[in-house]
Structure 1
Amino acid sequence: MFLTDKNIIVLNELDSTNNYAKQLLKEKAAQGTVVLAHYQENGRGQVGNFWESERGKNLLFSVILYPGFLDAGKQFYISKIVSLALANTLKQHLEDVKIKWPNDIYVGEKKIAGILIENTVKGIALDSSIVGVGVNVNQEQFKSVAPNPVSLKQLLKKEIDIRDILKAFLQKLENYFEVLREGKVEQVDAEYFQLLFRNEGLHRYRKDDKEFRARIAGIGSFGQLELEEPDGKVTEYMFKEVEFVV
């Protein structure tokens, strides 16, 4: 077991747990090292998005992984297993937990968690992955322009122990990491698609300010979203090339 309490570094305040983890990478930090912050001054989401979090209220951390067994072209599998670990952790407390492609975690139509993964490549394989996670746990008011945040406390009407969520997530992440190491990609693919937000039926999407309806036909080998329109046309989209209309 490489994910243990001994590998958890707890800090009161950071600009970003991912940035701190990058420094630890230079020092050859052990696999499974976790950087946990009570507050992030400059928490980041995908492609420069800002992650709002009230001090001491939420789960903000990064995990260092060394998936050297994985081809660089398959790096989206890290996103898949992290999403699955986090979604299944939250499913222990909530119903209707889904993964909104590529790796936001939703409850119903609201976002409860986000993931930012930064990979490095060595030759044809992955060298390291810094997995940044933010989970809305005990925050009750959100002031940013984010349209649909929600927290565990808002949904469950009670305080949740942040470290309990972290411990459960790390256990599940280690299990999925081993599944991936064993080459069971079909299992990962199936579970990921099963938990995808809007994985059934036609839904609204937006491309270049134009709305259209489509169903999710699949996920490509590089993580691209495959959308099938009512006329049967299938188009692949990379992240930020298409928008869910929520």
Structure 2
Amino acid sequence: MNTIKIKITSSTNLFLKELSKKQSLKEWTIVVAESQTAGRGQRGNCWESEPTKNIICSILLYPNFLSIQQQFLLSEVVVIGIKDVLDTYVQKGIAIKWPNDVFFEKRKLAGILIENELIGQKISCSIIGIGLNVNQQVFKSEAPNPVSLKQIIGIEMNTNILLEQIVSQIQYWYKKLKSGQRKLISQVYHDSLYCKEGFHFYKDKNEIFQARIRMVTEEGLLCLMTKSKEERYYSFKEISLL
């Protein structure tokens, strides 16, 4: 594992992407920043992080054994790995909010942003951005319901040790992915989903309705079952949980 530590950057994903164009980098090269000025979440959402307080990093992988249609499996591997580590510090309440956020109860603790490059129908390169709120106490942006690990357990955490644990656990699940254990990964992901039990209120472009999570497809679509037993499929940003 090659770790590159920097003070500040606009985006660790962008930094790692530009660096990979200039030189050959080994898989599991990691860029870790104390601060970033233009952190992004899914679909361009901003990511607030107080300097030196949290984990802001990007990981380089070459998952050329995955097709375009299987790219969501990589997202599952990463978010499961993060949740596994957080579960060792928090007794209960950690869950995965589809598609790839980590929540504590109703508050966002971590998020990931994966950017893939393709050759033909295969993924040639993936840059995995991770933002995890660790020691931050005050959040000033308009991001909804953020929470940090310190706010949950009341203890200042060593971000370097925590990152090592997270990378190790992602590597554990990545090896399972490479060995073909895709059904296991998807099952663990599903079992870890936020609000997976019972019916909840959702809103799409047409209406507010009650439904329960039936499954998440291999392509990452959320399948909801309404009370009238109608199956509805959604991609990210097409549906919101109320």
| TM-score when normalising by structure 1 | 0.96
Residue aligning to 1:62: 58
Letter in 1 for 2:8: E
227, 238, 242: which one aligns with 2:239? 242
- What's the CA shift for 1:146? 1.4
Deviation at residue 209 of structure 1 after TM alignment:
6.7
Deviation string, structure 1 residues 101-126 (Cα, Å, up to 9, x no partner): 00000011110001000011111211
Counterpart-to-counterpart distance in 1, 2:153 and 2:11: 28
- Name the counterpart of 1:20: 15
Counterpart position of 2:40:
44
How far apart, in 2, do the equivalents of 1:219 and 1:153 lie? 31
Distance (Å, rounded) in 2 between the aligned partners of 1:171 and 1:56:
22
Conservation of the 8 A alpha-carbon contact between 2:83 and 2:95:
yes
Unpaired segments of 5 or more residues in structure 1?
none
C-alpha contact 2:60 2:125 (8 A) present in aligned 1: yes
Shift of 1:24: 2.4
SS of 2:80's partner is helix
Find the counterpart in structure 2 of residue 128 from structure 1.
125
Quick one: distance in 1 between partners of 2:239 and 2:114?
20
Distance of 1:78 and 1:122 partners within structure 2: 17
Q: Deviations over 1:15-60 (max 9, x none)?
A: 0000011012212211000000000010011101000011111100
Q: Residue deviations 1:63-120, cap 9 Å, x none?
A: 0000011112100011000010011111111122100000000011110001000011
CA deviation vs aligned residue, 1:178-215 (integer Å, no higher than 9, x gap) = 10001110110110001011111101111127321100
Report what 1:8 is aligned to.
3
Residues 204-228 of structure 1: CA deviation (Å, up to 9, x unaligned): 1111273211000001121000000
- The CA distance in 2 between the partners of 1:212 and 1:161, in whole Å, is 43
Runs of 4+ in 1 over 3 A off after TM superposition: none
CA–CA distance in structure 1, aligned partners of residues 13 and 209 of structure 2:
36
3-state SS in 2 of match to 1:111: strand
What is the aligned residue count? 240
- Of 151, 154, 157, the residue aligned with 1:154 is 151
The aligned residue for residue 214 of structure 2 is 217
3-state SS of the aligned residue for 2:74?
A: helix
| Residue 167 (structure 2) pairs with residue 178 (structure 1) | no
State whether residues 46 and 143 of structure 2, in contact with CA within 8 Å, keep that contact through their aligned partners in structure 1. Answer: no
Task: Name the stretch that deviates more: 64-73 or 204-213.
Answer: 204-213
Q: Does structure 1 retain, via aligned residues, the 8 Å contact 2:73–2:218?
A: no
The one of 77, 96, 99 aligned to 1:99: 96
Q: Which residue is 2:76 aligned to? A: 80
Provide the TM-score with structure 2 as the length reference.
Answer: 0.97
Give the residue type in structure 2 aligned to 1:102.
Answer: P
Whether the 8 Å contact between 2:67 and 2:122 is mirrored in structure 1 is: yes
In structure 1, what is the Cα distance between the partners aligned to 2:201 and 2:7? Answer: 41
